[in-house]
Chains A and B, each alone.
Chain A
Amino acid sequence: MSARGRMGVVICAWAGGSPGKLGVHSLAEQARTLDQVGPVEIIDRICSPVGQEKLGALFRSGEADRFVIVACSAFSKETLFRELARASGINPYMVELADVREQSAYVHDPQKALEKAHLIMEMAVARSRLAQEAPVQVRQSRSKRALIIGDGACALIAAKHLREQGIEVALVTEGSGFRIPDRLAKQREAFERDIDLLSHDPGFVIHAQSRVIHLAGRLGDFSMSMSSGQSTQVVTCGAIVLACEALEGDSQTGPPGDVSELESVLAGKGVLPESIVVLAEAGQEWGADAGAFVRGMRAAMNFKMKRPKAKAYVISRDIVSPGKWESEQRMAQDLGIIFFRSNERPKMVDAKHWALKDQTLGDIVIEAEAAYTTRHPKYDPEGIARVLGVPVGPDGTPVTLEPRLRPEETMRRGIFLCSSSFEPSPMETIFTDALSVTSRVAEALLGHELLGGVVTRVDQEKCSACLTCVRSCPYSAPFIGDKGKAEIPIEDCQGCGICVSLCPSKAIDLYHYGDSQIGASVRVAVRGGAQ
């Protein structure tokens, strides 16, 4: 019997969050009665290595050409299942995920959850019946080189780890080489070892005193033009990392001084003041994030340890010390550092006095010989972001694709961010950021990229070349081709479907989210499976 149009239904035994929580056998029985459904299997944890093997075997068995996987939310395993399908010779977009865990088992009582799970599965089956093989292209990165823009700790860690993965690294900096800020003085020795190691590495090139001026190409095949004084040169690379460390010392002068001044004094360059006040703040408005707060607190702690008798104040709008930093804040309090939560930015009364508005105590004037701020030093990643064609947020730093799930990616594929490097962050955040960027870059350069999938197709018979798609596309993908009809190249289409819903001739449809598929799943949802 031909597998064409036959559907496999795979149910995770853990679909309810733990085995036995959701009646997976009842789901399987139900699935067997549905039209077009061939093999139905319950697999214990599909995402485990053993489960993946079983799923792969089912993909390869030739008993079905489309699959519905009844399991958890799409985020965790969708990519994995699609990749497995591709490797097993099934079109990755013929795999449909039915989330019965986050959308049902976790939120409803068991009886209702099972009823809803039946519907969710049937909705996916209805969609899958109408699925068409989406065009998919596999592309390997042409250039295996990564380009890092920046010269700080983040850039250094990323460079070191990329080299360890065997990736060629080129680094662009407007300065003369790596610069390690004083606040990371503790790690200086380790950093210097790394710098030394890199300087003897033939796979690592530094383009010093250079500025990026133009970027062309796409992920895997970028060419970056940069200028160093009179001459310009072009470097090809597969991926770009934006890790421009905040340029400390270029910040505003005069009270409050930059907290890096205090850090330099603590590192032994200058005389320690008698008492200090640190304004923990970030951004343009008065307010702080964890990075700024912890940095200010640490500077005050180091000061207090050197001068236990001196007064040290930390003023912030937000006292934020998440995770293990909480115990550090406790330590700071035990050391005798005084924290104030002020609703307004403290004002200087005279050279030694600062007025603030504490949230519980009201107006207070404190005495401190020196004042420091952790405010973002004067620095402009915006210009570089503009060269790279990456959107910039209201605070002047590049926007990440998705702060919670994909913080190191930008809207432009192949350009990655170390966002913690834009502000003087503590070592831990820099390190995690640099490592996560490293892994994403390695994935982009050494792995392969799947093009296509959720993309549009144009029925040129119906197209009246009205230009609606051309004008409405956020990515300028559609154009009117030689035949006088709209064409949308799959490598440019991002699959948002805006043109699909706008097209007055209904000449465009989207693979994986076709009009008929959306309609069918709504119908099942409303009327139930038995029609």
Chain B
Amino acid sequence: MKVIGFICEHAGLPAAVLAGERGMQYSPDVLLVRLPCSGRVDVVHLLRAFRDGADAVFLAACLEKNCHHLYGNLEARKRVEQAKRILDDLGLDGRRVELFNLASNQAFKFRDAAEEMVRRVEQIGPNPLGVKK
């Protein structure tokens, strides 16, 4: 299983680091990609991750109305909704991609987000585009 977490520099990253400092356990299949802002994410990044074989992709962004770059997280929300629709159309299941709003000190929310995506993959099954091992 491979889960990609895009983390914004102002909420997702500090929350992930804090989760690390506190030793909060989550699946080692979750790998994090740092972004300057969740608004940096392009629907292409999300879809290419699935083409490469990721089983799920999530974004950890600032709380709404609290984005460091004012509305980057709202832009990201639109991208994620768009990706969900495309995944549904492709029959890959839109639940494989999700956006989570959290604050920089909410390490537990980050851990929950990571675990939630792992649970969803267990439910939905692996990405059919994934590389056969």
Contact = CB atoms under 8 A, between A and B. Distances in A.
A231 to B, nearest CB: 37
B52 A99 contact: no
B104 interface: yes
B33 interface: yes
A125 B84 CA distance: 30
Contact of A523 (B14, B16, B52): B52
Contact of B33 (A104, A108, A518): A518
B95 interface: no
A474 B72 contact: yes
B69 interface: yes
B87 interface: no
Nearest to B70: A474
Contacts of B44: 515
A346 interface: no
Given A107-B24, A519-B48, A510 B40 contact: yes
Interface string B79-97: 1000000000000000000
A164 to B, nearest CB: 33
A172 B131 CA distance: 66
Nearest to B22: A106
Interface in A80-123: 99, 101-104, 106-108, 112-113, 115-116, 119-120, 123
A216 interface: no
Contacts of A526: 2, 4, 49, 52-54
B37 A498 contact: yes
B105 A404 contact: yes
A427 to B, nearest CB: 26
A525 B79 contact: no
Contacts of B45: 515, 518-519, 522
A522 B39 contact: no
B94 to A, nearest CB: 19
A74 interface: yes
Contacts of B124: none
A525 B42 CA distance: 18
Contacts of B26: 107
A120 to B, nearest CB: 7
Interface string B23-58: 111101001111111011110110011001110000
Given A123-B33, A518-B33, A99 B69 contact: no
Interface in A484-531: 494-498, 500-502, 510, 512-513, 515, 518-519, 521-523, 525-527
A502 B75 CA distance: 9
A73 B20 contact: yes
A74 B20 CA distance: 12
Contact of A496 (B20, B72, B79): B72
B69 A498 contact: yes
A405 interface: yes
A469 interface: no
A274 interface: no
Given A112-B28, A115-B28, A402-B104, A74 B13 contact: yes
Given A498-B37, A527-B53, 6 more contacts: A123-B31, A401-B68, A496-B39, A497-B37, A519-B45, A525-B54
In the A-B complex, the 9 residue pairs with the smallest Cβ-Cβ separation, listed nearest first, are A102-B20, A497-B40, A498-B39, A496-B69, A496-B37, A501-B42, A525-B31, A474-B70, A112-B28
A402 B18 CA distance: 14
B23 A496 contact: no
20 contacts: A74-B34, A99-B17, A99-B20, A102-B16, A102-B19, A106-B21, A123-B33, A405-B14, A474-B69, A498-B39, A498-B40, A498-B71, A501-B41, A512-B36, A518-B40, A523-B48, A523-B52, A525-B31, A526-B49, A526-B52
From A102, A106, A494, A496, residue with most partner B Cβ within 10 Å: A496
B10 interface: yes
Given A102-B16, A526-B54, A113 B28 contact: yes
A240 interface: no
A518 B2 CA distance: 16
A472 B71 CA distance: 9
B69 A494 contact: yes
A301 interface: no
B105 to A, nearest CB: 6
Contacts of A525: 2, 4, 31, 33, 54
B13 A515 contact: no
B98 to A, nearest CB: 16
